[in-house]
Amino acid sequence: MIGDASSREEAAGVWGGALGIASRSIRKLPMRKYNRIPSVGSVMTPFPYFIDSDDETAEIERLMGEHHIRHIPVQQDGRVVGIVSARDVLQLSLLPTADKARIRAREIMVDDPFIVSFDAPLNEVALEMAKRHIGSAIVTHHEKLAGILSGTDICRILAEILESEFSPGPPDSAA
């Protein structure tokens, strides 16, 4: 079962009130001065689409293409058990279409995804992602899927912090 827009909206009602966040496809954070390191929860993409471990790759490809996403958490019985990336799906491109369509998420997922708490400090999570050479972390709150933190989310907040801390002008010379 793929998490669709209705389940995302339903989750938004529950999580949005509990966490004080809003769903967005691309969110520009309000310009602000940071007095402390932001939490993962303040930067992540909330209410991510997700797939079930039994979902077939054809459906995963459709979901990724339709919603322009590169990482999808995999759930089984309501808990996160893995993650599928666009790269995982792309590696199947050498298989005949009929064979590829029958492969299930559990067969291609990374079964030990990087899972972090909603309250985790962003700097620690970003450094760990860099060490592991991974493009996303699954975010949980009270052991439930709350969001996904991607490299894009980190770049977005980095740009915001740079804009708030430094005045515009010609770039510093690297020489």
What pairing do the DSSP bridges indicate for beta strands 115-117 and 79-85?
unpaired
* pLDDT of amino acid 168: 77
Beta-strand relationship, 79-85 and 51-52: unpaired
Query: Mind listing the pLDDT tens digit for each residue in 24-59?
Result: 434 454 556 667 899 999 999 998 899 999 999 889
Q: What is the CATH number of the domain that holds 74?
A: 3.10.580.10
Q: In which domain, by residue range, is 158 found?
A: 5-26+37-165
Q: How far apart are CA 156 and CA 86, in angstroms?
A: 21
| CA-to-CA dists, residue 6 to 12, 13, 66, 161, angstroms | 10, 11, 15, 34
Q: Which residue has the tokens 């799906």?
A: 89
Distance, CA of 107 to CA of 85 (rounded, Å):
13
In the chain, the number of structural domains is 1
Question: What pLDDT, on a 0 to 100 scale, did the predictor assign at position 137?
Answer: 98
Nearest residue to 148 (alpha-carbon basis) of 65, 71, 64 = 71
Alpha carbon separation from 172 to 138, 166, 167, 169 (Å, rounded): 36, 12, 12, 9
Domain assignment of residue 144, yes or no:
yes
Q: What average pLDDT does this structure show over 94-109? A: 83
Half-sphere exposure of residue 162, counting CA atoms within 13 Å on the CB side? Answer: 9
Q: Residue 17: CA atoms inside 13 Å, Cβ hemisphere, count?
A: 5
Using DSSP's 3-state secondary structure scheme, residue 2 falls into coil
> How confident is the model at residue 1, as a pLDDT?
52
Higher pLDDT, 3 or 41: 41
12 has a pLDDT exceeding 70: no
Q: Does any domain span residue 172? A: no
- The yes-or-no verdict on residue 84 having pLDDT over 60 is yes
Q: DSSP 3-state assignment of 23?
A: coil
**Residue 175 belongs to some domain of the structure:** no
pLDDT at residue number 157 = 94
State what percent of residues in the chain have pLDDT above 90. Answer: 58
pLDDT, residue 16, reads 40
In a domain, 170, yes or no: no
pTM passes above 0.95: no
Q: 154-173, pLDDT tens digit by residue?
A: 999 999 988 888 877 777 66
